[in-house]
Structure 1
Amino acid sequence: MFWVGLMDGDGSIQVNHWRAQLLQYRLIIKLSNLKSNYNMLIKIAKVIGGTVRITADNQDVIWVVNSKQEIEKIIKIFDTYPPITSKKICQLAFLKACLSETSLELYMLNRKLKYDKQLIIIKSKVNFNIPSYFKYWLSGFIEAEGCFSLRENKNHSFSIGQNDDRYLITAIKQYFQAANIVRNPYGKFYSLEVYKKQVLLRIITHCTNQPLLGEKLESLKKFSKKVLQ
């Protein structure tokens, strides 16, 4: 499911409080304010719900859902197509807990514990098996986190990375049958960078068959022309 992959990469599942009086819930995706991203988020809003707006500084375009009732409806999608990143799994669990128990006192006590189980989740996915919806999810995740790089020396590449979740980048590597090592360039960030034309062609084919919808689609078109020359 494309939207789930996009949420995993660029989305946020939030629970906040209003003046320490009541809880507020929010689903949000924030992207660079480009026409292609705006059009993509409009398509998502038409299918899933939510609204799209441009930030006051004109730098970003945002898809957002603030209504508790609408959020409760939308997150049912996650019952069929669960998030894959450890961070979003934790955010979703915290949101569901706060929807179930709306006590402000419990929220205050537990909000700092939101990611307490993240390491357990990561360890449980050492032998991660990709779900049936992975190829559609992956296009959404590439839209968020993928990078198509063109170079004058024709050493073109595709790269993708994620904090904490080595299991996920390894799964993407295996899905595209890449021989490259999953690198850990700094901190808890894991990345994959691919140069081999045979693998790049697989990635192009994937992103054509399970289309990208925003700015990365524009990048892919330019990238494909150069790689296919």
Structure 2
Amino acid sequence: MNKTTYSFPFFLGLLEGDGSIQVNHWRKRILQFRILIKLKYTEDNYRMLTEIRDELNIFNVHIRNDYVLLIEDDKRKLKLLIKRIDLFGGFLLTKVRLRYCFFKYALKHDITFSEYAAIKSNSEWFGYHKIVPYDYNDILTKPFFDDWLCGIIEAEGCFSVRKSKNHSFSISQKDELDFINAVKLKFSLPNKIQTRSNSFYVIETYNRRAINDIILFCDTKLKGQKQVSLNYFKTFFYDINKCRV
């Protein structure tokens, strides 16, 4: 397959969906910083992560058991990555923005373990008050929203083929109702948002017009195993819908 050039917002969306921004400690003495993306190992996911690594010139790729991981734990490179993330306006999901705020503060100020422990136990830490949650309109109007959305669909979107031919697309997030609302508005989904346990929000659509719009939006823009899933999904969806409606 040909090498693909990835937009940085696609990477951010993938990181928000399937990534982790971590500050950990070793024996309550040394703080360790890490940003990673962890995906099920497939050739397409492996190829995608190696190409992102090469495009950014940051991160290492590891294969562990049934997973492929994109990992960076070098402080110097993480500081370079932070500059680029901030240049693009940062993340969109509130929970990720909160974690990133702490991560950036801890890395920038080289905090001690005692500071780390105090902040982790304090939900009212002053840094968190700087984070104003985005509403659905804030998310929709970000200039990089479309590429970012493709990245998070790569991570979290689900194209489901059913024997009943009642095929569907769904996406979910915990605690991020405004993001799910943004997806609903982006594709004019007629379906209601479902609220499951522990503030877990899901929207699923069987609407043929809406699914067709989502296919047209995502096709060729997804880069890993999700594009394979979409290609498989299309063979069934367009078999029962002879033309794109």
**Same-fold status (TM-score > 0.5):** yes
Tell me how far apart the structure 1 counterparts of residues 178 and 110 of structure 2 sit (CA, whole Å): 34
Equivalent AA in structure 1 for residue 13 of structure 2: G
1:80-119 superposed matches below 5 A: 80-104=88-112, 105-113=114-122, 117=128
1:14-163 superposed matches below 5 A: 14-48=22-56, 49-55=58-64, 58-79=65-86, 80-104=88-112, 105-113=114-122, 117=128, 121-122=132-133, 125=135, 128-130=138-140, 131-163=142-174
Distance 1:115 1:83, change over 3 A: farther
**Equivalent residue, structure 1, for 2:232:** 222
CA deviation after TM superposition for structure 1 residue 149, in Å: 0.2
1:167 pairs with 2:178: yes
8 Å CA contact 2:13–2:148 kept in 1: the answer is yes
Equivalent AA in structure 1 for residue 216 of structure 2: T
Q: Secondary structure at the match of 2:121?
A: helix
- For structure 2, the 5+ residue unaligned runs are 1-8, 240-245
**Equivalent residue, structure 1, for 2:4:** none
Normalised TM-score (structure 2): 0.86
For structure 1, which segment, 96-105 or 188-197, has the greater mean C-alpha deviation from structure 2 after superposition?
96-105
Distance 1:76 1:115, change over 3 A: farther
Q: Deviations over 1:149-207 (max 9, x none)?
A: 00111100000000001000000110011111111022210011011111101100111
Tell me how far apart the structure 1 counterparts of residues 227 and 135 of structure 2 sit (CA, whole Å): 30
- For structure 1, the 5+ residue unaligned runs are none
Distance 1:72 1:194, change over 3 A: same
8 Å CA contact 1:29–1:62 kept in 2: the answer is yes
Q: Deviations over 1:67-96 (max 9, x none)?
A: 000011112222114211111101110011
What number of residue pairs does the alignment pair up? 224
CA deviation after TM superposition for structure 1 residue 143, in Å: 0.7
Equivalent AA in structure 2 for residue 205 of structure 1: L
Normalised TM-score (structure 1): 0.92
